[in-house]
Amino acid sequence: MSKRIDVSDLNVYYGDFRAVEDVSITIEAKSVTAFIGPSGCGKSTFLRTLNRMHEVIPGARVEGKVLLDGDNLYGDGVDPVTVRSQIGMVFQRPNPFPTMSIRDNVLAGVKLNSRRISKSDADSLVEKSLQGANLWNEVKDRLDKPGSGLSGGQQQRLCIARAIAVSPDVILMDEPCSALDPISTLAIEDLINELKDEYTVVIVTHNMQQAARVSDKTAFFNIAGTGKPGKLIEYADTATIFNNPGEKSTEDYVSGRFG
Amino acid sequence: MSTTKLARRAGTGRTGDKVFSGAALGAGALIVAVLFAVALFLVVQALPTFSAPAADITGGEGFFTYIFPIVIGTLIAATIALLIATPIGIAVALFISHYAPRKLARGLGYVVDLLAAIPSVVYGAWGASFLASQLKVPYQWLAENMGWIPLFAGPASSTGKTILTAGIVLAVMVLPIIASLTREIFLQAPMLHQEAALALGATRWEMIRMAVLPFARGGIISAVMLGLGRALGETMAVALVLSSGPLIASLIRSGNQTIAAEIALDFPEAFGLRMHELIAAGLVLFLITLAVNMVARWIINRHKEFSGAN
């Protein structure tokens, strides 16, 4: 399953401070959408509002609408727990649960909400998810070893396996390669390319080549200055953003003439 | 030439390093030395008890018969205290670290710390003069309705000064230790893993079970062991609250005694063999505490691979 996301007039606040201003954007299903922009421009904050993970931060709140195939994530009676089980997230630093084995890490999301799963179903789900994350061949002989014993890149793919094991509609990735070496980065980028056959993928990245390599559409965020809110400057096909951007600031940023 | 360039520059001696490593070594050695001295004192002073004829020991049937009931009494009181204090302490700590609004959490944390600062004699006085009399009626009820369970066999104490009351007072004393130590551990649980759990669609309680409690496991055990240490060794509160007697199964009748209270109550008038006996009882208490700590260490180490430290 994959679903499209329609965001209209979204504002994000930390207490009184407006961190993101008036973002409207449509993210297509079964595609990879990249958010780029300088540090502090609100792209990670905005990403978190797509599965209500910003609510973990004290004082953070949102105004506006985020529709997942027409259902407002911020509607009355919507449970953030349900939202997050349908919109998965991969973080900047790989974060497999250190107290769980590789196998239990993959099953962590599936076993939530007291759902039960038979051993054979669990085995096939673990294999399918790890294969989906291109990790199966590397770990199939040590599924009962702790996930924290893997390399950084393997841990990140384990986190992706954990996210896809619950078959979400959307996968959000917050700079998933920034803590990884180039080879592991390549492995993740290949994986992102495969993931878009089944999922809607949204990725925040500081690496513009990465955005150019993996994404179908790119959104450029920017801030006018410190203390000002982040804004969506331009959103278009990735080729357009990098070769023929409509805005001067986009061109400056992607060509490295920024600031 | 190059070696002289890389030689230590004058005036930048390692005095600080030397002082610090010396101080750390000294402190470590001091702890071992004090522990050793205490153990040695206990063993030497206890020896006459073991060589004395059985008939001369209190009770007239040898040291083991004398010590066994109060060892069990000590363990009963400490067990009651931990059974009550551990779940409540952990719940209080979790409430402060993960549920309460920030302002309330700060106030509550302060109150818990304050609870730990109350002297034990005050707890003892409170237990003896207030709690015991409050518990008379519940004990009566237990004896009438649950009397078929040996633990609650009647007749209930008419003063309420029973081993159960002592255990409850000990629980109140141990609670702040467990609560404040585990709170610190819970607050240190990595945000990274808590967010991972939430992003998978975990509720707050599921997040705590996945990312906070496993992380805090070693810390919880250490906190409980520290609490147990206090419960085992607590003297004044038990001495004031418990009207002691021989070992009995019922928790709601007068009876039972703990090692620490036995020593405290009898030591001032003890001389000769009786004093050696009490010191031997102290040695037994020391060994119990040592064993408990070793078991705790072993439990913590058993799961090292999955502790997240690697």
| Whole-number pLDDT of residue B303 | 65
| Whole-number pLDDT of residue B308 | 53
CATH superfamily of B68-305: MetI-like (1.10.3720.10)
pLDDT over 50 (residue B296): yes
Question: What mean pLDDT comes out for the span B13-33?
Answer: 91
Contact in structure between A23 and A35 (CB atoms under 8 Å):
no
Identify the weakest region by mean pLDDT among B76-80, B218-222, B279-283: B218-222
pLDDT over 60 (residue B93): yes
Contact in structure between A215 and A195 (CB atoms under 8 Å):
no
Give the closest residue to A201 by CA, choosing from A17, A9, A29, A13: A29
A window 156-185, beta carbon within 8 A of B: 159, 162-163, 166
Å between A207 CA and nearest CA of chain B: 22
Give the closest residue to B254 by CA, choosing from B141, B159, B123, B138: B159
| Whole-number pLDDT of residue A224 | 84
Q: What are the DSSP calls for A85-151, one per residue?
A: HHEEEE-SS----TTSBHHHHHHTTTT-TT----HHHHHHHHHHHHHHTT-HHHHTT-TTSBGGGS-
Cβ contacts (< 8 Å) between B102 and chain A: which residues? 58
| Whole-number pLDDT of residue B306 | 60
Candidate from B210, B217, B303 with C-beta closest to A97: B210
Residue A248 lies in a domain: yes
The domain segmentation of chain B, as residue ranges, is 68-305
| Whole-number pLDDT of residue A258 | 63
Residue A216 lies in a domain: yes
Report d(CA A77, CA B190) in Å as an integer: 30
Q: Which amino acid is at B219?
A: G
- What the block records as the tokens of B276 is 């050696």
Distances (CA, A) of B236 to A8, B2, B129, B270: 68, 69, 14, 18
Candidate from A91, A99, A100 with C-beta closest to B195: A91
- In tens, the pLDDT along A77-103 reads 899 999 999 999 999 999 999 889 999
Å between A147 CA and nearest CA of chain B: 9
Q: How confident is the model at residue A242 (pLDDT cuts 50, 70, 90)?
A: very high
Contact in structure between B230 and B172 (CB atoms under 8 Å):
no
Residue A208 lies in a domain: yes
Å between A79 CA and nearest CA of chain B: 10
Cβ contacts (< 8 Å) between A86 and chain B: which residues? 201
What rounded mean pLDDT belongs to chain A? 90
Residue A193 lies in a domain: yes
Å between A34 CA and nearest CA of chain B: 20
Contact in structure between A164 and A88 (CB atoms under 8 Å):
yes
- Judged by CB atoms closer than 8 Å, whether chains meet at B193 and A93 is answered as no
Residue A226 lies in a domain: yes
Query: Which residues are registered as beta bridge partners of A237?
Result: A217
Residue A113 lies in a domain: no
Cβ contacts (< 8 Å) between A112 and chain B: which residues? 200-203, 206
Residue A227 lies in a domain: yes
Report d(CA B174, CA B167) in Å as an integer: 10
Report d(CA A187, CA A68) in Å as an integer: 29
Report d(CA A180, CA A16) in Å as an integer: 35
Domains in chain A, number: 1
Candidate from B192, B195, B215 with C-beta closest to A53: B195
Kindly identify which residue of chain B lies nearest to residue A172, measuring between CA atoms.
Answer: B199
- In tens, the pLDDT along A43-84 reads 999 999 999 999 888 888 999 999 999 899 998 889 999 999
Please state, for a pLDDT cut of 70, what percent of chain B lies above it.
Answer: 94
- Judged by CB atoms closer than 8 Å, whether chains meet at A100 and B214 is answered as yes
Where in the sequence is the domain holding A238, given as residue range(s)?
5-95+171-255
Q: Could you tell me if A50 lies within 8 Å of chain B, comparing CB atoms?
A: no
pLDDT over 50 (residue B309): no
DSSP state at residue A229: P
Question: What mean pLDDT comes out for the span A11-26?
Answer: 91
Q: How confident is the model at residue B241 (pLDDT cuts 50, 70, 90)?
A: confident
- Judged by CB atoms closer than 8 Å, whether chains meet at A84 and B310 is answered as no
- pTM, rounded to two decimals: 0.82
Q: Could you tell me if A93 lies within 8 Å of chain B, comparing CB atoms?
A: yes
Residue A179 lies in a domain: yes
Q: What is the ipTM of this complex?
A: 0.89
Whichever domain contains A29, its CATH number is: 3.40.50.300
